[in-house]
Structure 1
Amino acid sequence: MTRDTLTRDQIVRTAIELLDEGGLEGLNMRGLGRRLNSAATAVYWHVKNKDDLVTLAGDRVWDEIGLPDLDTVDWRTAATAMATDLHAMFIRHPWLVQAFASHLFYGAGKARHDDHSLAVYEAAGFTGEEADQAAATVFTFVLGNALGASATASLTRKLGRDGGNAEDVLRDTMKRAGEVAMRFPRLRSRIGAPDDSEAGDYAGAPARSFEFGLQALLTGLEAERDARRPPRTGR
């Protein structure tokens, strides 16, 4: 493609594909040009550099998060849906979690999400700064829960580039970690014998930990909101 037929939308969509496949280190302008069947110089007519492209791609994926209609669902249902969508988006695009350490993301996609998130917590009865605090607390929880998947994806790619078998390395490391954990009673009772094929992985989160934590967090926010309300006075 020439610079006249290439569009920014095509570039951003293709960049997201490359980022999903190879992470931040897997994206470069030359490789992007090849994927687009275009010269790298043509790409620079639409984006300034790789950092600019990562920012554009990072904003685009926020459009994947649904915005529940607050006229038809209660605030807690809406908060659960948005947090679950956000978590799924981070898992689909683990490079975005990694990129928070080196990029400041902004744009219409993220602003759309953030604005509706504030609306959800305002609907819950939080006002002003309290709504910002509630939204930020839930966002931080979701981001923290996505860190493990992002780190695993990044480590797997690194091990592959270094010429090792990522699956074997991870398995061996978890086996050694399990052997160390067997020296501690609570971990030992959880994971079982190290040679047991059905033994648990103490480094892994229990099933449905995200769902459990999210509901506990929302319950805590409700309690905090109620505690801040002035007591009712009798007539």
Structure 2
Amino acid sequence: MPRPAWRRCRRVLTGVCWRFSVRYLSAQITRTMSGFNGTSMSVLLFAVRRLVHRTRLVRRTLDVRCTGCQGLSKEAPMPGPDQHNPRGEADLIWLRPERVRRERPSLSRDEITRTAIDLADRDGLEAVSIRRIAAALGAGANSLYWYISSKDDLYELMADEVIGEIALPDPPSGDWRADLRAIAHNTQETFSRHRWFVLLGIQPGLGPKTRRYGQVAMACLDNLHLDLNTKINMLAALNNYLFGFAHRETAWADLQKRTGLTEQQWNDRLRGMIDHAAHQDTELAEHMTARLQLPGEEPFEFGLTCLLEGIAALTNRSPTPRPS
């Protein structure tokens, strides 16, 4: 018998046993209240213990029956969210082999991940849920736990898949500044297609596509002959800049979305605010005009150039001579 059917059967039989036990307990309470004494109280306590014992016995028996019949079922037991990691230890989805179900149609991590990304692109990250993904795939929500154990696993898969979309200079050209600039522009373009990506927060980043991204970026710095820590700090600075700029763009887009205005209406509203400010405070209007251009290509290029030139100046700087 399928597992959901056994669960319903167990609930029904437990409820029947409970109702009969409650009737027995009610009769004992009535007798006790009619002539309260020590003997009556003992009978009442015995009835309560009997009620609890009967309920536990029935549930234990049905659990055993359910487990036994699951072994005869064609469908293997469904792992719950914590069944992959029963001890609650640190666990990464990349360290667990992908499981394949025997029945048809079967799913895969790739299908689940792409469906989750499509939902996030269309309706935002808050719309991504196990239930909605399962509905889009025509599967049961519990069946997804065969492939992923938690929503953290899902976010890690989504992050790795998006990173895999970024075009990389592989092999590097030998010009580290040109290569890092190309990586930065391609990363920014990918983040713009998936505004929700920066909302995932920091992920472990051990997926195969994320690791390849880091390996190619690291290889772009080989000609500088720097130690590992310096290379990691350089790439971390670039990564922080990219995420910071993407956060600004995402926040700006969310602000417009909350107003319910179209892009044209939103721009008209901003121009109206600037025109209104210009009549009262010219300096304020000029600052507002400049700040409205921040989520754009020119400010991004300016900040990226400052970052790369600063790194170049730092790596080419000769050691400060010691005073004699």
Q: Shared topology, TM-score over 0.5?
A: yes
Point out where structure 2 has 5 or more consecutive residues left out of the alignment.
1-102
Q: Flag the structure with more relative contact order, 1 or 2, with Cα contacts below 8 A and sequence separation at least 6.
A: 1
Does the CA-based 8 Å contact 2:172-2:220 persist in structure 1? no
Partner of 1:188: 285
Inter-CA distance 44–222: structure 2 relative to 1 (3 Å threshold):
same
Mean Cα deviation higher: 211-220 or 76-85: 211-220
2:205 matches 1:108:
no
Inter-CA distance 118–62: structure 2 relative to 1 (3 Å threshold):
same
Q: Deviations over 1:197-225 (max 9, x none)?
A: xxx46333165111122122211111111
How far apart in 2 are the matches of 1:155 and 1:29?
Answer: 27
**AA at the equivalent of 1:167:** T
**AA at the equivalent of 2:131:** R
Q: Which has the larger radius of gyration?
A: 2
Shift of 1:20: 1.2
Q: What secondary structure does 1:18 align onto? A: helix
TM-score in terms of structure 2 length: 0.58
1:53 to 136, 145, 154: 154
Inter-CA distance 106–178: structure 2 relative to 1 (3 Å threshold):
farther
Does the CA-based 8 Å contact 1:55-1:105 persist in structure 2? yes
1:129 to 217, 221, 229: 229
Inter-CA distance 134–177: structure 2 relative to 1 (3 Å threshold):
farther
How far apart in 2 are the matches of 1:155 and 1:40?
Answer: 33
Inter-CA distance 181–122: structure 2 relative to 1 (3 Å threshold):
farther
TM-score in terms of structure 1 length: 0.77
Does the CA-based 8 Å contact 1:3-1:42 persist in structure 2? no
How far apart in 1 are the matches of 2:268 and 2:286?
Answer: 21
Mean Cα deviation higher: 44-53 or 200-209: 200-209
Q: What secondary structure does 2:146 align onto? A: coil
Inter-CA distance 3–208: structure 2 relative to 1 (3 Å threshold):
farther
Partner of 2:304: 214
Mean Cα deviation higher: 166-175 or 49-58: 166-175
**AA at the equivalent of 1:128:** L
2:192 matches 1:96:
no
List aligned pairs for 1:1-235, cutoff 5 A: 4-70=105-171, 72-100=173-201, 103-155=203-255, 159=258, 165-167=260-262, 170=266, 174=270, 178=274, 182=278, 185-189=282-286, 200=289, 202-205=291-294, 207-228=297-318
Shift of 1:3: 6.7
Q: What secondary structure does 2:114 align onto? A: helix
Does the CA-based 8 Å contact 2:174-2:220 persist in structure 1? no
The 4+ residue runs of structure 1 with deviation greater than 3 A are 69-73, 103-106, 152-157, 166-187, 228-231
Q: CA RMSD of the aligned region, Å?
A: 3.0
How far apart in 1 are the matches of 2:236 and 2:276?
Answer: 36
Shift of 1:122: 3.2
**AA at the equivalent of 2:209:** G
How far apart in 2 are the matches of 1:148 and 1:33?
Answer: 32
The count of aligned residue pairs is 216
How far apart in 1 are the matches of 2:153 and 2:227?
Answer: 35
Shift of 1:181: 5.7
